[in-house]
Amino acid sequence: MNAGRFSRWAVLLLCVTGLAATASSQTVIDRIVAVVDKEIITESELQERVSFVALQNRMDPSKPEFQRQVLDAMITEKLILAQAILDSVTVSDDEITRTLDQRIQNFIRQVGSEQRVEQMYGKSINRIKLEYRNDIRNELLIARVRQQREANLQVTRREVEEFFSAYRDSLPQVPEEFEMSHIYVVPKADTAVEAQTLRFARAICDSIKAGGDFADFAKRYSTDGTAASGGDLGWAKRGDYVREFEETVFGLKEGELSNVVKTQFGFHIIQLLGRRGESVHARHILIKIEKGPASDSAAVQRLREVRRRVMNGEPFADLARKYSEDEDTRSVAGDLGTLTLDQLQPDFATEIKDLKQGEISEPQRASVGVTYGFHIVWMRKRTPPHPMSLDRDYRRLEQLALFVKRNRLNAEWVEELKKTIYVDVRLPHE
């Protein structure tokens, strides 16, 4: 397979996905390295993007050919944006705001707090939103133009066969794959501890209703990563929160404070700050319910009993639908899908790597989001590593063939755009 062709488009995909790298705090005299239509690309912008993509791909940022690939990707972005203007493609302010807020909230969840995000970027959350708003707008415009062009793009079986015939000697080996299901349970807090925590949460709620400052109480008592920002959760849409939280927040009026709400994370006090269509801006105070060794032991015992029932012949799928507390997989009988070892968290990979096909693991500790629990895993099928073949891996080959076709058509389209839209590359060696 033409590795260069794949790598160039991999660079482009990385260039237009996610928030860009942190802007340099140094002031430099910039040099223009490319002009596209009425837009310029400066040397500092190029080096920033080179560093970001190199870090994500573990590449050497000093190689001239890599820098040129990144610059080509940036030029392609500018060309598509210029075409978006010509085609009157637009995105709304609400779309930009929702995407930006969700992107930042996801990042906050990943690193643990707004304060950590601000430390990493060297600026406030509001400043980050302001500076990256235009980047998000451009990203959405590029995605919309591509969606319009690629909406009906498909490959025929003949195209898949021709792709396989042309590239079969350079196709990577399919890694070992695991088809798994699990039953996950969350340790339950001691009833006395839970009752005490509920009384404390209600006392905070009553104090706020009596005139207390919500943000101050959040900073002092919330056990969530948003405590430092007064519990601010930013903008979110339906599906972003767990069911109990979502039902409450979407039922509030602007400015209204909820009663204490229990979710898998603990007890919440929620206030709705704003609403835009199907998006809400809320803040909350989370009081976690502490659990101890006795809670963990009880969860393990529950799972051992479920495992015993499966071993005695009860269908795993039925028990998963009945007992599993993983909201993402319970409705599909605990199905975790088909995965490879490198797609698994290290602890989970260690847990299942020696599990034979058809076996069910003993209860093991597992994390789902920011919570933990215990689960048993059923290894439904193990497929050993093997060279790709048309019969065995047709769907995988179909996706690869579609990827190559899409890249080829995109490259041809970009070359056509260069004939109608001004492009001037000003690298020193060119």
What does the H/E/C string look like for 9-36? HHHHHHHCCCCCCCCCCCCCCCCEEEEE
**Cβ neighbours around 215 below 10 Å, total:** 17
CB 238 within 8 A of CB 247: no
C-alpha separations of 261 from 205, 223, 287, 383 in Å: 11, 15, 10, 44
Neighbours of 321 (CB within 10 A): 16
Complete domains list, the chain, with CATH: 3-157+395-425 (1.10.4030.10), 177-188+292-383 (3.10.50.40), 191-287 (3.10.50.40)
**Beta carbons of 355 and 381 less than 8 angstroms apart:** no
Distance CA 143, CA 152 (A): 15
**Residues forming a β-bridge with 268:** 261, 286
The pLDDT score that the predictor gives to residue 11 is 41
What is the distance of C-alpha 26 from the center of its chain? 30
pLDDT for 12 equals 42
Paired tokens of 260: 């204490």
User: In what side-by-side order are the strands of the sheet with 423-425?
Assistant: 39-42, 32-36, 423-425
Q: What pLDDT is attached to residue 121?
A: 79
Alpha helix stretches (DSSP H) within 58-169: 64-86, 93-111, 114-121, 125-150, 157-167
- How many residues belong to the chain? 430
Backbone φ and ψ for 356, nearest 5 degrees, come out as -80, 155
What is the mean pLDDT, run by run of 10 residues, along the chain of 430 residues?
41 43 48 90 88 79 87 92 90 87 79 78 82 88 89 93 94 93 89 89 95 94 88 86 91 94 92 90 92 86 96 96 91 93 86 92 82 92 93 93 92 92 81
Q: What is the pLDDT of residue 369?
A: 58
Position 29 scores a pLDDT of 61
* Cα–Cα distance for residue pair 272/65, rounded to 1 Å: 51
Q: For the chain, give the longest Cα–Cα distance.
A: 74
Q: What pLDDT was estimated at residue 287?
A: 94
